[in-house]
Amino acid sequence: MRIQLIRYHDLDNMNTRLAQSLNRKQGVLPPLGLAYVASALEGVGHSVDIIDAIALCLSKEEVAERIKSFGPKIVGITSMTPTFRGALEAAQLAKDYGATVVMGGVHMSILAKETLSYDCIDYGIVGEGEESFVELCAALEFGLDYEHIEGLCYRKNGKIVIGGPRLVEDIDSLKWPAYHLLPMDRYSSIIGLHPTSTMMGSRGCPYQCGFCFKTPSDKKYRSRNVESIVSEIEYLKEVYKVKEIMFYDDIMPKDYARDLSNEIIKRNVKIKWQTPERVNLVDPDLLQLMGKAGCHILRFGVEQGDPDMMALVEKKIKPDQVKEAFKAAKAAGINTFAYFIIGYVYETEETMQATIDLAKELNPKYVMFTKAVPLPGTPLMQMAVKEGYVEANYWNKFTLGEDLDPIPPLTKDAEMWVSKAYRSFYLRPGTILSQFFAMRSLKDLTKNIDGFFAVLKFKMTEDDFTVLKKPIKPQTPITGGTGIDHPVINITRRKVNGKLITPQYAQVDSD
């Protein structure tokens, strides 16, 4: 059976966290989720095509032509909540050519009933999609019952049925992503070497940061066999001449990081790589080993500079841990990338300035300052609702195509403070000089110029930002079904001598 998978453009994302002047310069990376689903489908004999409209810069008409030319029976589309309206446009294009449309991605785990209220979307998959998608395609191809498929969402007798989330217990059972279906020469990162590729060595994260939505399938941490991971790296080097691997794991625990580094060294694989990491999961000896194995950038989520705000964000780390981790990474010859959030609920000018001050003190090679945006199903969303910044059903209405205003900043002048943070960090003479002397090629020069002007001409939204003037409206009434319930968090705060007292749920762990 002919099956097409689509990553579509981000349309009508009114609530962007990252400044668009920077977003356009950061590069495009492979859609690993779609590539994993594609390899699972190919493994059982289906003919599969992937349309990466973002990497290929395809217009709506060009995507439509690709769909028409391939003639798929089934089209799978991935979506996050803020980008849902773009995915919806792709779904309508596929439906116009008679395809059965399946929607996946994080969005389905949050607002499945609202998503399936659109007649251009036939099925949804909640959780990890490789096994569920394969089983659904088999059922549709041979006319079999599909109601038993775990993770499947569908309509029945005018009602919407939402399945329980699917989790792949043994991720070593998954085939490598179908890289051959992706335009591998089009992927790059402003902080990486070219060509570059993403990889997944583990899934899941036991931490519950207040701004991050975790699907039920994220809650169980699972890692791959390091021998398989390094073999995949060798494959990417040999076939696609990849010079750098960007791991997209949520975390990299010590044992896993140590085993992976030792395997890379043992097999003498010469590759640069980077990964997200937590400051409480590294130590000086481990960092020395990772640096020896080719790790040259660690991406740390610091988020806040004020200790009380750090606790409120629920990072479960302490400022001293942050400083020690950055110091140890520098000693190991590993560059650092620090993520910060500006404008969280209950922030003040003093706490936002503390974040900027900590960024300067840590002095990583790269920083990203994002505006706090309350995403559905997160503690931050619960806080924002409690404080009256946003309606509890805002994202439900957004999914249903209602004409809404963007969520207002959760702190006064938050966007101005994001701009101030970038400028005060990157436009320091010392930072400009260090970036200049670190350049080794014309490509480095181009990236630095792009980054410099993106900061200099900082904008949270672009003047030519694409907005859907006539959103597609749902046709199926939302009745029946069972969704995922997100507990309402009881937030209590008080001040002592002007300082925030951390809520009980946000106590900091030492490990």
pLDDT over threshold 80, residue 196: yes
Contact indicator for 337, 369 with CB cutoff of 8 Å: no
With cut-offs at 50, 70 and 90, classify the pLDDT of residue 217: low
Q: What is the DSSP letter of 305?
A: S
Other beta carbons less than 10 A from residue 503's beta carbon = 17
Note the Cα 11 to chain centre separation in Å: 17
pLDDT over threshold 60, residue 431: yes
pLDDT digits (tens, 9 = 90+) for 296-341: 999 999 999 999 999 999 888 999 999 999 999 999 999 999 999 9
Q: What is the pLDDT at residue 500?
A: 41
CA angle 172–178–180, rounded 5-degree value:
145
pLDDT digits (tens, 9 = 90+) for 455-471: 555 555 544 333 333 44
Inter-helix orientation angle 84-96/60-70, to 10°: 40
pLDDT over threshold 60, residue 502: no
Q: What is the pLDDT at residue 306?
A: 95
Least confident of 9-18, 38-47, 201-210: 9-18
Question: Where does residue 413 rank: exposed (0-12), middle (13-18), buried (19+ CB within 10 A)?
Answer: middle
Q: What is the pLDDT at residue 14?
A: 57
Instruction: Assign domain 1-184+427-478 to a CATH class.
Output: alpha beta
Domain 191-374 has CATH 3.20.20.70: yes
pLDDT over threshold 60, residue 222: yes
pLDDT over threshold 90, residue 430: no
**What mean pLDDT is reported for the chain?**
85
With cut-offs at 50, 70 and 90, classify the pLDDT of residue 50: very high
CA distance 246 to 478: 40
- Considering the chain, what percentage of its residues have pLDDT values greater than 90? 69
pTM of the entire predicted model: 0.85
Strand ranges inside 167-294, DSSP E: 188-189, 196-199, 202-203, 222-223, 244-247, 272-277
Domain spans, the chain: 1-184+427-478, 191-374
Return the higher-pLDDT residue of 149 and 206. 149
Contact indicator for 292, 284 with CB cutoff of 8 Å: no
CA distance 303 to 344: 10
Structure tokens at 283: 């130590």
pLDDT digits (tens, 9 = 90+) for 174-189: 999 999 999 999 998 8
